[in-house]
Amino acid sequence: MKVARYTTYGGPETIAFDDAPVPRPLDGQVLVRVRAAPVTAGDARLRSGVVPRGLGVLMRLAIGLRRPRVAPGWAFAGEIADPGTSSFRQGQRVFGLTGFKGGAHRDWLTLPADGRLLPLRKGLSFEQGAAFFFGGLTAAEFLIDRAGLAPGERLLVCGATGAVGGAAVQIGRHLGARVAATASPANHDLARQLGATVVTDYRIGPPEGPFDVILDVMGKLGWPGARPLLAPKGRLILITADLAQMLGSALHPRRDGRRVITGTNADTLSAMQRLVDLHLAGGYTPRVGPVLPFADLARAHGLADSFHKPGNIVVVMQHDGSIPETA
C-alpha cells in the first residue's frame, strides 16, 4: 500500500510516498480501507512548520526539531475491511480521526475500534465524510462551548467560506443567530448559500456592527479591529492566534466588559458525535472543495497552504476491491 511521509519541514515537495505492507489489526483494532481523507490547514502547518508568531519553537519541541515526526493525515472516511472482535461489520462505511499524530494519508489504516471512529451516516459521501470533522469540530466547540452563542444573537464570521468559517456560518445560523460574514468577492454567493445574510469583502472592511460574537478565522481583525464592532458582553473568538494573543486571552480575557477567546479545540469522540447530531438536525454539512487523487497529495498541500480554499480539500484513494494479505 501507499503511505505518505513528511521528509523535512518545507514546501509540498517535501512529501514522499513509501510502499508498505497492509497492517494487520491487533487485538481491539479494526482495519479500515481508506477511501478519502482531507488535506487540512493543520496538515499544511505541520508540514511547513509555518505557524503564528511565537508558536514555532513550541511546535518543533512537540513534534520534531528538524522534521515533523508525525505522519500526514488527520482524518479519514472509508470502509471496515476487518472488524476484528468489534461490533463494526465488514464493509461498513465509517469516518474518524487519527488526530494530529496523523497517519490517515495511506491506503489502509488500523486503529482502535473504541477510538475516534463512527459509522458514516447514510447520505454522506466518502468525500463529505473526510471533510466532516476538521472545521466542524472547531466551529462547534468555539461557538457553543466557549462563546455560548444564543438564539437571536448577532454573529460575524470573518473568513466565512473555508473549512472553519463555512462550518461556523452554518452552525451559527442553526443555533438561531443572525449571521454576517466577510469573504473575498468570488466567495460572496457561497457565504450567502451557507447562511450569511450580509457579506462584505474583508479587504474593504467588515459589515456594520454591533455583534455579540465575532469569530475571526485568520485572526486578521484581532482585538483592535473587533473592539469597535463588539456589543457589550460581546465575545471575540480568535481561531488563529499568535503566542502573545493566546497569553493575553488567558491572562486578561475580559476587556471593557467583553471577552477574548483563543485556544485549540478538543477532538473527542463525544464532540464528533455532537457534530453528527448537528448534521442530522440539518445544522451542518461540510462543503467539499477540490477533490484530487491521493497521488496528487503534494498539489493538495499547495492549495491548503494558500488559506483561500473554498470548503475542504479532499484526496481520494484508489482500490481494486480485493483485500490484500496483511503484514
Ligand X SMILES: NC(=O)c1ccc[n+]([C@@H]2O[C@H](COP(=O)([O-])OP(=O)(O)OC[C@H]3O[C@@H](n4cnc5c(N)ncnc54)[C@H](OP(=O)(O)O)[C@@H]3O)[C@@H](O)[C@H]2O)c1
Residues near ligand X, by CB under 6 A? 40-42, 45, 135, 138, 158-165, 182-184, 187, 202, 217-218, 220, 239-240, 264-265, 307-309
Instruction: Report DSSP letters for 276-294, one per residue.
Output: HHHHHTTS--PPEEEEEEG
User: Min. distance of Cβ 200 from ligand X in angstroms?
Assistant: 10
User: By the 8 A CB rule, do 136 and 74 touch?
Assistant: no
d(CA 199, CA 176): 18
User: Min. distance of Cβ 220 from ligand X in angstroms?
Assistant: 4
User: Min. distance of Cβ 303 from ligand X in angstroms?
Assistant: 9
User: Min. distance of Cβ 309 from ligand X in angstroms?
Assistant: 4
Q: What three-state secondary structure class fits 314?
A: strand
User: Min. distance of Cβ 237 from ligand X in angstroms?
Assistant: 9
C-alpha cell belonging to residue 86? 468489534
Q: What three-state secondary structure class fits 158?
A: strand
Q: In this structure, what DSSP letter does residue 146 have? A: I
Pick between residue 29 and residue 262 the one whose CB is nearest to ligand X: 262
C-alpha cell belonging to residue 7? 521528509
Pick between residue 159 and residue 283 the one whose CB is nearest to ligand X: 159
User: Min. distance of Cβ 103 from ligand X in angstroms?
Assistant: 19
The strand pair at 211-216 and 154-158 is best described as parallel
Q: Which helix (H) or strand (E) holds 44?
A: helix 41-48
Report the alpha-carbon angle 148-152-158, nearest 5. 65
Taking the CA atoms of 311, 315, 321 and 323 in sequence, report the sign of the dihedral they define: negative
C-alpha cell belonging to residue 229? 464592532
User: Min. distance of Cβ 225 from ligand X in angstroms?
Assistant: 10
Pick between residue 94 and residue 238 the one whose CB is nearest to ligand X: 238
d(CA 314, CA 269): 22
Residue nearest ligand X by beta-carbon distance: 162
